[in-house]
Structure 1
């Protein structure tokens, strides 16, 4: 399911006034098998080393599960020529879906990472990009991410065939969050979602916390004990006195940190010289979903994370 409820994927066709526009539901799509002559210069005349192909969206591309269609074009609209590259790049965006920052987030991202198979490339509508950007960039800033240059909205069509979404409030600004909880602290523990988030993170730690202090507009966590589930970019020289930062978290509630007793699961990434948190969870062995998550960690191996935000 898409964030925000039952959202249909549409191709919006702009015609002269004497024509009626046709809106297609996912089941209306006619998937095409691309011919070799389309290959090397598919997508705005760009050159690619291999012909364009229509392929299944793989099970290990969680960003685009349930998006409304099951086949995609390679190369995609972000210049990724292989499925390996698509999966590495897309993994960094998976945690954003759980934040429900805009109901069109998944459709917008997947229209670029996993474009639907049609006989020509169809880009997302500019207004959809702007709506998703305005809803999600404030959340992304908590994780140290700006809206990336590769998703600059003015590059997308305003008055041409384009991808949009329809839902009761899709064209309106997102409603204010029910609470002002720090985004790093507002995720319910669901085994599959937590595993995907861990795989998308550069590091994952089991820790006990000595202290939490304000540091400008951030909050910093001083650790007592720590064990790496995934160490990623944390260097040996930083490990002994490792400090983690809750970006822009000085004044928003993080209920997990109200009591510092017990152990925590912390997920994050390195930004410049800081280790930034993207999720804070209690290490709760009494939670069935958390135990499912830990079993999955022991049995499965994450693909190598590759950040697309920078």
Structure 2
């Protein structure tokens, strides 16, 4: 299905600010705009702010009068403040190309804030939101650098981050960029997960199916599932891992890349 996207990082960095305001992402074709916009679908799925869709739509498909009407600076700021922590949990910074200072101020013609932030609502940790269907799990697997079945030896919390230490015995389903030292003493980090609940970690007994990315030498946890060998959806997803190359299955979740 073509090149695999890396959400949050694939969009073109060519957007600049001229005397007339933001010049936009300067898509040369509709196909290019569609591809870049599609790589942001995960941000909508996470519902980090009620105006995320409004922001992305006005960014990738701005209303055109005598000139394009882009998001207001305040709209960029509220979406960034709510969604950047979610992106950081997966090792992706807020893109420089979307620096909010590039957007028009509210007294200019632009798309303004409409909804309210959802950050005040207590919700499950981003890494612990489980997709129970095989399709969702397959997307997560393909979008992760590595996939491992393992037991958890211990879990600690420090500086707003959880640290999961894997037991010695484990089964690597997808190796990706991992080295032998990574798998021998595997430690997974959950960013921005010190205060949010993670139901599947209420008990560390049994095995877990974990997916993650390797960022700066650290292993970041993207998703975690209690291992259920009789679960048909999970069995189908795991079988897929050994049967089909991931680039043929278009991933929608974080950290996608071609390996």
TM-score, structure 2 normalization: 0.69
Consecutive unaligned residues in structure 1, runs of 5 or more: 1-42, 56-73, 78-82
Among candidates 259, 268, 293, match of residue 203 of structure 2: 259
Among candidates 103, 128, 139, match of residue 75 of structure 2: 128
**Largest Rg, 1 or 2:** 1
Matched with 1:54 is 30
TM-score, structure 1 normalization: 0.59
The aligned length equals 228
Q: Any idea what the Cα deviations from partners look like across 1:76-95, whole Å, max 9, x if unmatched? A: 49xxxxx5xx49xx64x554
Q: Is the 8 A contact 1:124 1:157 kept in 2?
A: yes
CA RMSD in angstroms, aligned pairs only: 3.7
1:208 corresponds to 2:151: yes
Higher relative contact order (CA 8 A, sep 6+): 2
State the 1:275 CA deviation. Answer: 0.8
> In structure 2, do the counterparts of structure 1 residues 164 and 301 end up closer, same or farther at CA, with 3 Å as the change threshold?
farther
> In structure 2, do the counterparts of structure 1 residues 192 and 105 end up closer, same or farther at CA, with 3 Å as the change threshold?
farther
Among candidates 84, 93, 106, match of residue 146 of structure 1: 93
Q: Any idea what the Cα deviations from partners look like across 1:116-163, whole Å, max 9, x if unmatched? A: 797975543433322211221233343344323222112123456656
Q: Any idea what the Cα deviations from partners look like across 1:220-269, whole Å, max 9, x if unmatched? A: 21112223332223223322112111223344332212222222121221
Consecutive unaligned residues in structure 2, runs of 5 or more: 1-21
State the 1:211 CA deviation. Answer: 1.9
Distance 1:279 1:164 in 2: 34
3-state SS in 1 of match to 2:149: strand
3-state SS in 1 of match to 2:30: strand
